[in-house]
Amino acid sequence: TGEKFFENLIEMLSDFNSNSVKVIINNNYIDWKNIQREKKIAVHRILLELMVNMKKHSSCNVVNIGFQQHKNTICITYKDNGIGTSEMLKFKNGLKNAENRIQLINGTLTFETGTDKGFKAEITAPL
């Protein structure tokens, strides 16, 4: 959660690159030095949960993750081009943990998916 937080986060996300999956990171800048430690930990763990779910379930070949700061809010978007799902999302351990983490930092976590429409998630939290 120190000075190299974002570099370490990018490294973790980049570790999911493979011969079959390309992880693209769009950084429109978040001033991480002014973000509380608890929020950094929550963001890191939520993104890790999303990436693990991608690897296990999505069958995608492209993941796009974007970082933005709007006045007093951070916004992180996750999108993949995988198989998605037509069923209501099942909040098992991974997504349930992500939901609990976002609530602890007074943020929101929204999902959008559909059969053959990929998977999208948006993380927002106040600074």
pLDDT score at 73: 95
pLDDT higher than 60, residue 77? yes
Tokens of residue 10, six digits: 């990018």
pLDDT score at 91: 55
> What are the phi and psi torsion angles at 14 (to 5°)?
-65, -25
Banded model confidence at residue 117, pLDDT cuts 50, 70, 90: confident
Q: What is the pTM of this model?
A: 0.91
pLDDT score at 125: 95
pLDDT score at 123: 96
d(CA 44, CA 9): 7
pLDDT score at 41: 95
pLDDT score at 89: 59
What tens digit of pLDDT does each residue of 7-26 get?
999 999 999 999 999 999 99
Quick one: average pLDDT of 107-112?
91
Angle at 14 between CA 10 and CA 18, to 5 degrees: 175
d(CA 68, CA 93): 27
Quick one: average pLDDT of 63-84?
94
Quick one: average pLDDT of 53-81?
94
In what helix (H) or strand (E) does residue 13 lie, and over which residues does it extend? helix 5-14
pLDDT higher than 80, residue 74? yes
Higher pLDDT, 94 or 56: 56
